[in-house]
Amino acid sequence: MDHTEAFALYEKEALEAIAAAADSNQLEAVRVDFLGKKKGRLKDLQSLVGKVSAEERPVVGKLFNEVKLRVSATLDSRKSGLDKPKTALTSLDVTLPGAPIAFGKRHPLSQTIEDFKDIIGRFGFTVADGPEIEDEYHNFNALNIPNEHPARDPLDNFYLATAAYGINAGDSGARLLRSQTSTVQIRVMEQTRPPIRIVSLGRVYRPDTIDATHSCMFHQMEGLMVGEGVTMAQLKTVLKLFAQTYLGEDVTIRFRPSFFPFTEPSVEVDMSWRDTWLEIGGAGMVDPNVLRAVGYDPDEVSGFAFGLGIERFCMRRHNITDIRRFYENDVRFLAQF
Ligand code: FA5
């Protein structure tokens, strides 16, 4: 047997023996046998190196070292495997007292959404849902926002590359991330006859400049009530009572005349906070054009609608002065709620 064959045989047998060792005692015996320095198989192998010619010796010596290293590395890794504690199942002592586990918490915005559903549910509103990727008809046209309206400007919206959404031939419409939850008003009215009393809570997207009260993704609660004789006085009552229930009796709500294409008359709603006012939503009486677009007769039914910024309510309730805290995922912040 020449030295190449001897090295190969040694390595093969060593690796087999390492794999076959059932415990660390057996593995130690394998180590002594194959890697022991004083006597054993490694010594025999080393003597082969001494027998080759002076020219061959450097090459054969290198081979010897490589084989030795591979065997000892395999042995070390097997040893650390055997040293590991047994699996949790076999070592679990069920009689030991339990260790306290820190429970996770819902995100403050998720908590607010649940609170909103609970409060507004007591006013008789049920929850409806709608897609975050919208077509232009539901985000604009049906809401009385015509083609030339500045709100449709691509710079003020997140339009999507339509090819990515597999738009069918014949459907040339653009798609965008909805800029308001008012889209759900239309989707609900298309499917339902009055009376209607729904809310829809979810994310909306706008390329707004980010600051302490603005984000490019935020949450709104849309509300819609349609039926015979629905009035602006009811709208104001619902919003005032809702805000006071969530924020406390001390909050003052103010209504400012405003304009939305899909309501007439329209108002902006502000809440008192930190000696000033912060806008919390828009609202108004559903525009007759919107009622007609979904096949309702504005002479028979009227309605009110509102869209509230969920972040801003949550900020006031918990005295959070920067909206960006909600999205930073800092557990030190989140764990407080
Ligand atoms: C609207 O989005 C209308 N759809 C509301 C509406 C619904 C009017 C139904 C009439 C009838 P507005 O753009 O004002 O309106 O947004 C409503 C609320 O969302 C704001 O008052 C504010 O509380 C919140 N909001 C708006 N932009 C941001 C933003 N960038 N970051 C955080 N909150 C925002």
User: Is 268 within 8 Å of 279 (Cβ atoms)?
Assistant: yes
Q: Report the atom number in ligand 1 closest to the C-alpha of 223.
A: 9
Going from the Cα of 32 to the center of ligand 1, the distance in angstroms, rounded, reads 77
The pairs formed by 143-148 with CB atoms below 8 angstroms and a separation of 24 or more are: 143/182, 143/183, 143/185, 143/186, 143/261, 143/262, 143/290, 144/261, 144/262, 144/287, 144/289, 144/290, 144/293, 145/261, 145/262, 146/261
- pLDDT bin (cut points 50, 70, 90) of residue 170 is very low
In this predicted model, what pLDDT tens digit does every residue of 49-108 receive, in sequence order? 888 899 999 999 999 999 999 999 999 999 988 887 655 566 778 888 887 777 888 999
Going from the Cα of 282 to the center of ligand 1, the distance in angstroms, rounded, reads 6
Nearest CA to ligand 1 atom 27: 214
- Does the CB atom of residue 214 touch ligand 1 within 6 A? yes
Going from the Cα of 281 to the center of ligand 1, the distance in angstroms, rounded, reads 5
Q: Give CA–CA dist 55/213, Å, rounded.
A: 80
Q: Where are the domains of the chain?
A: 3-90, 108-130+182-334
Euclidean distance between the first and final Cα of the chain, in Å? 76
Nearest CA to ligand 1 atom 21: 281
Mutate to test the pocket of ligand 1, among 215, 220, 253, 263 (most ligand atoms within 8 A of CB): 220
- pLDDT bin (cut points 50, 70, 90) of residue 168 is very low
Mean predicted lDDT score pLDDT of the chain: 92
Bridge partner residues of 285 (DSSP): 304
Name the token pair of 146: 């015509």
Q: Which CATH architecture group holds 108-130+182-334?
A: 2-Layer Sandwich (3.30)
Rounded to two decimals, the pTM is: 0.72
In this predicted model, what pLDDT tens digit does every residue of 259-305 receive, in sequence order? 999 999 999 999 999 999 999 999 999 999 999 999 999 999 999 99
